[in-house]
Chain A
Amino acid sequence: MIKVLLIGNPNVGKSTLFNSLTKSNAHTGNFHGVTVEEKRKIVKLNNEEYEFVDLPGIYSLNTFSYEEEVSKQIILTENAIRLLIVDANSLERNLYLALQLKELNLNFKILINNYDYFLKKGNKLNINELQKHFNNVEIVNAKKCKLSLNLLNLENNSNQEIYEKNFTNTKNEAFFQKNLQKNSENLKFFKNFYKNERGQIKENNLNYEKNLEQISHLKKFIVEIKSNFNLSSEQIIFAFNGVYKNLNEEQILYIKNLLPQIIKARYNYLNKMLSSTLTIKKNYVYGYCKADKFLLNPLVMIVGFFAFFFASIYTIFFAIGPIVANWLNTAFNFFVINPIMNLLYTSTSNVWLIEFFSSGVFNSFTTIITFLPQVCLLFIFLTILEDSGIISRMAYVLDDFLTKFGLNGKSIYIILMGVGCNTMSTLASRNANSKNLKIKTALINPYISCMARLPIYVIVASAFFGKKSYFVIVGLYLLGLTVALITSAILNKTILKNTDNNLFLEFPPLRHLDVKHLYNVGKTNAIDFTRRVFGVVLSIGVIVWILTHTNFSFQYTQTMTDSILFFFAEKIAFLFAPIGLNSAGVVCALVVGIMAKELIVSTLSISNNAASTAALISSLTLSSSVVHFNTASAVSFLIFTLLYCPCISNLAVLKKEVGKFYMWFAIICQLTTAYLLSFVFYQGITNGIFIPIMTLAVATIIIFSATYIIKKVKHPKCLTCNKCRKN
C-alpha cells in the first residue's frame, strides 16, 4: 500500500482535497486549525491501494503547537508520497515549508490551490519558472480534483533511514559526551561567527542541487558548522528544521541562535525566486475585504452574532425543526413501527416480547430519532459560520474580552464547535498555543450545550413552559457559556495561569456559502446521528429496559419499582433530594446519561412507557408517571443535565488530551457546579431567595479563599508581576 500525505499551511484546502480524492466527508472550514489530528482513508486506483493521510496544517517544521508536532512527525518519518498543497494567494509563506522539505531531501509535489481566485484578482504566476526550482508543480482545484495516477506520479521516500542513523545511534551520544569540552570551545567560536555574520548573508546561487551541502542558502552555515562542530550534514539540516533529537543543550542552543539567520536566508531565496515568477497586483490583500470595515466593528459583530444565534435556535427548535420532526415521526410510525408491531401482535401472545419491542426497542429510540432534523439544522448553522470566514473575525473581535477570562480569540471556535459536539471540540483544543490554554479549553468545553442535550431541553422545557420554552432553551445555552467563562477565569487565576496568550491568526477571505457543502454537512451529520442512535442509544436502551423490567429473581416485572435498576437508584436517590430530583427514574436517567446524553431521554421514555415525543412531554407533568416533575424540579433537572458530567467519549478524549488528573478534575468540578446551581435554582423557586443567596455567598467565599491559597502556595512564573521580575 502506498501512503499519500497531504501537507500544507493551515486553511489551504488540504481537507477539501482529501474529501475530493477519497470521496470522504472530513470536517472542513474556512478557519485556521480545523483539522487537529490526521485522518486516513484507503482508496483503490488501478488495482493499487493508496492510503491518503490528511494532516493538520503546519507553517514550518519548527513546530508551535501540538497539532503541528503531529504533522511534523508523520512528514519526517513515514515512507510516502507527499503532496504539498499551497495557496496561490500566499505563495511565499507557503513555499517556506516547501523549502524545508527540499532541504531534507524529501520528494514532494506542489499542488497550487485557489488559483482561479488569484487570477481573478489580476495576479500572475509563471508556473514554468517555478518548475525550475521545484520539479513537480501542478495547479489543482481542491473542490473538484479527481484522483488520477498523474497526480500521484512521484517517487515515495522518507528520511526515516537518515533519521535513524543520525538520531537513534547511541554512538553519537557517547561521542557528544566525550567531546563536551571541545563543544564548549566550539560554541564560543560559533557565537563569534554568528555575531560577525549577522545580516550579511548573500545569495548567489539559485540552483538547487541534490547534495544537501550544495543548497545555496545553507551552504555557508553547513560548511562552517561541519568543520568546527563535528556534526554530519544531515544532522545539521535536521536541526535547522527543528529536530534536535540526541543533540545536547549546547548544540541545540547554538543551532537555535543560528535559526533567525537561516530563516532570513530562506526568505531571501524565496524573494529572489518569486520576483521572476510572481506578479501581484498593487494593493492586493488576501483575506481582508471592504466588508471587514463594517464586520470588525465590535457592536456590529456582537449584535450580529446574537441575532444569528437567536434566529438559529428559533429555526431549529420552533420553526422548521419540529415540522420536519413531525413528518419523520409519522413516516417512521407508518413504515417501520406499525408494521412490525402488527406482525408481533398477530404472531405471538408473549407479553414480554411485545413489551420488549414496543417499550424497550422502539420507545428508546423513536423519541431520539425524531430529533434528527434539529441536529442537522444545528450543524448546518455552525457550518455557515465556519465556511463564511466569520469565525476568524469573531476570534479577533472577541480576543480582548476572552483574554480577561484566560482564553484567547481562537477559543471562540472551540466553544462554537462544542455546541455541535463536546468530544470534537475537546479534541480541537489541541490548536491552543500553550499547554495551560489547551487544558483550560478542554476543561470548560463540557459546560457548552452539545446537540445530544438538545432533545432533553426541548422535551422538558416544552412540558413545563409551553411557548416560553424558547427563552428557557436560550437561557440554558447562555448559562452554560457563562459557567464556562467563570470556570476558565478561576482556573486562570489559580492552577492554569496563561503565560502565553498570543493570537497569531491568519484571516481567511469571506466566502460565499456552498449549498452543496451545506447539504453534505447535513447528510453526514444525519448519518452519524442515526448510527449513534441505532448503535449506542438502542443497545444501552435495551439494557436499561431489561434492568428496569427484571426483578432480583431474574423474572420479567411490569412494576418498575421492583426492578434491579430501581433498587440501586433508590439507594442513592436521597443525594438528589435537595435539588428536587429524588425520583429513582430520574436518577437512573442521569446515571445512564454519563454513557451518552441522548440516553437520558430514551431512559425517561422507557420509564414512562412513552411511545412518542408528545407522549413523553405530557407524561412528565402527570404525577402518576414513574418520572414526573414540577416546574422547580424541571428547572433543576435541566440545569443539572446541562452541567453535570461529560459523556464517556468526551471523558476518554479528555484523558488522552489532558491526562487522568484533569479528567477527574473535570468530573468533580462539573458535578459540584451542577449540584450547586441546581440547588440554588430549586431552592430559590420552592423556598424563596434566602437559602440560594446564602449558598452562593458561601460558595463564593470558598472559591475566593481557595484561589487566594493556591496563588500563595503555587505562584506560576510569569513576566508581568514585580515578584517574578525581581527573581
Chain B
Amino acid sequence: MSYLTLSKITKQFGDTVVVDDFTLEIAKGEFVSFLGPSGCGKTTTLRMVAGFEIPTSGKIILDGADITDKAPNQRNVGMIFQSYALFPNMTVAQNIGFGLNVRKEAKETIKQRVDEMIALINLEKHANKYPYQLSGGQQQRVSLARALAIHPQVLLLDEPLSALDAKIRVSLRSEIRAIQKKLGITAIFVTHDQEEALSISDRIVVMNAGLMEQVGTPFEIYNFPQTQFVANFVGSLNTAKAEVSDPATGLLNVDGIQFITATDIKSRKKGDAIRVSIRPERFSFADNQKKDNVLDCTVENITFLGSVVRIQVKIGEAKFNMDTFNNPFLELPKIGSKEQVTCSKEAVLVLDE
C-alpha cells in the first residue's frame, strides 16, 4: 500500500528537462534514498515533494491527498538541508519549537514537544545555546529535531551529511536511521554518496540525467545492477566488451578468453555484442576450490587501499581489478608474475552494450 506516490513527474526549467517521467511508490515507514551524481534531478525531485518546486506535469499523492500544487507551508513535510539552515537568532529550543510556534500551539504543548525532541537527539545540555555555538554535527541534529517536531508525514533529507567530517558523517548516519526506525517515519534521503545510500536505505533510486536508472534494495542495486550507469556508479566495477558464444550455456568471449555467466542470456544470439561486469572483490587467486571461471592472468600493478589491496591483472587483453582483504599474512604476487584468478559464474554480470 503506497503512502507517498510520485506519479509521472516531469520538471522542466525552460527547455531543460531536469526530471523526466519519474514514478515511485513509497510505503509508510520506508526509508528511500535518491542516489546520483550532481545535476541528476534528485534534489529537484525532493524539492517537489517539499513544495519548493512545482512539477511541470505529474502528481504527488501523500496519504491519499493530492499535494502537487500545495504551498510548502501547507504541507506537513519535514525537510533537512545540507547547510543545516538553523535560524541564527534562535536558541536550539526555539529552533525546534518554531514549527509549533507558527502553528500557534499552546506554550505547554510546545515546551513538552521540544523537551522530547531534545532528548531524542541527546542535546539536553545545549538547549539554550545558539547555532553558532554548536558543531556541524550538533547543528544537523537540531535541524533533524526541528523537522520532526511538527510530526511530519514525510521526512526529507537533502544531502544532510555532505557538509560534515567523515567520522561524524558515519555516526550521524546511523543515528538518523535509528531515529527514523524508532519513529516509523517515512523518509526520503538524497545523496551522491553510494556508501551512504547503501548503508542507510530500505530502497535506493539511482538517478542519472533526470531519469530513474534502477530502483531496488541496496542488496539488489549493488549485486545486480541493471544498467551500466548503475554498475559504475555504485561500488567499483570492471567492465569489458564481450560477445555471446553460446546463449544456452551462458558462454561468453572476452577478447578470446572464455567466461561463463549465470545470467540468463537465452534471449540473445551467438555473436551479440554485450558487456560483462565483475566486481573486484568477486575475483580471487586460484585455490583448491572448484570455481566456474579459472583464468590465466598477468599481475600488472598492486595498490594498497587500507583494508583492501587492489591488484590489477591482465586477462587476455582486458584489464581487471581484483580486491582482496588486507591482512598481515597476505602473500602478494610479484608484479609481472603469471597467476591464475577465479570467479564464480554468478559474479559475471551481463549488461547491454
Is chain B a partner of chain A in the same complex? Answer: no
Chain A residues proximal to chain B, CB less than 8 Å: none
